[in-house]
Each structure stands twice: as C-alpha cells, then as structure tokens.
Amino acid sequence: MTAPLPASRDEAAALLLEVLGASCPTGAARLIGSMGVPGAADAWSDIDLRWTVGPEGAEDALRSLRPTLERVGTVESLRVDPEPRADLRLVFVRFQGWPLWWRVDLEVHGQGLGSVDVPDADPWSPGESACMGVVVTLKTLARQRPADAEEQLAHAAARVGTTVVAGPWTVRVGSLLDEVAARSPGTADLVARTRRLAREVLGA
C-alpha cells in the first residue's frame, strides 16, 4: 500500500527520522542544516539528515536503504554521490508527489561505509544532477541572493558539459533546461516540473 503524502515538510522529516531509527536501533538520526536549527528553516529549505550507524548492522542498514525509505513514500529517485569517502555515503532522495523543495539529502556515517554499495540505488545522472542544481538556483533567487545563484547555475550547467547563456534569469534557466532535456531524455518529467517551478519563482 502506498503511504499517504505528508501534510507538511515537518511531518515528512519526522517520518524519515522514525523509519531510519527503527531500521537501525543502535544508530542515531537527526536533522541537520537549516531544519536542524530552530527557526532557521524557510519555505525553500530541503530536508537534510545525518544518520550515524554503529558497527552492528551498519552495512545491512545501508544495503536496505531503499526499502526502508519506501515506508515513508514511493521513492522516485535515490542517487548516491559517486565521490569516494571512507566513512560516509551521501544519498540524494526524491519521493513521488513531494514538492521539489523537499529533496532529502541524507548523510550516512559509519566506519567503512564509504565502500558499501546501495544495491537499489539509481544510476548517477548528470541530467538529474543539473536539474536539481537549477532547483537550488531557484531557491537562492527566491531568497534574493542573485550573486550566489549565478555560481550555482554555472555549476549546474557544468554537470551536463555546457555553459550559461546571457540574458534574464528566465532565458538562462530555460536555456539550461532545454540542454538538459536534449542531453538526458530520461529527465523529461523532472525538467517539466522544474520549468513549472521556475515560472512560479521567476514569474514568467
């Protein structure tokens, strides 16, 4: 049975903490980032989590991560950062039906976990990574920080081997999403959703 959509981002975060805690009782999961600081989160904050797992059951917890998260909702995308780290796996998760703002950035900490595979992870996608970079850019623009957004959009473009065109933000964001759609056809739905989000933020 599909889990109902959370009524709020706070509820979503609480559900995630609950299922992670239940799957590894010897571990500890907590919010980090802006949601981890009372009063620091705003409407555009995503859900950042740190999950520290002890030696016993650590590998099993990571290898069963997707089924664990499916207890919260349908996992639309689960990507593991390919950069190697000795005791850390950085996982990016999107749930079906959740707003794009609610992407989950999950740090899984544990001795030797950097070499443990997540068997049900989706392949690393430069196109999806670029799309999520656009989402981060839109978040920064909504926060009225255009200088930071410039850097973020350039970084997103680099993920698909292109550069940002000149022009107003609507043109620059739209052009990059065109490139992502052309280079990564599998991201078509995500690109369309990101375009809708861009219209909400940029107004055109």
Provide Rg for the chain, Cα atoms. 17
pLDDT of residue 2: 66
d(CA 44, CA 50): 19
Spell out the domain ranges in the chain: 9-115, 126-202
Six token digits for residue 164: 């940002």
pLDDT of residue 156: 97
pLDDT tens digits for range 5-45: 999 999 999 999 999 999 888 889 999 999 999 999 999 99
pLDDT of residue 25: 83
Q: What is the pTM of this model?
A: 0.92
pLDDT of residue 119: 87
Q: Considering the domain 9-115 in this protein, what is its CATH number?
A: 3.30.460.10
> Is 78 in a helix, a strand, or coil?
strand
> Is 20 in a helix, a strand, or coil?
helix
Six token digits for residue 135: 């989402």
With vertex at residue 171, the alpha carbon angle to CA 168 and CA 176, rounded to the nearest 5 degrees, is 125
Query: With contact defined as beta carbons under 8 Å apart, do 103 and 194 qualify?
Result: no
pLDDT of residue 78: 97
Query: With contact defined as beta carbons under 8 Å apart, do 181 and 187 qualify?
Result: yes
pLDDT of residue 168: 96
pLDDT of residue 114: 82
pLDDT of residue 58: 78
Instruction: State which residues of the chain have pLDDT below 50.
Output: none
pLDDT of residue 116: 83
pLDDT of residue 6: 94
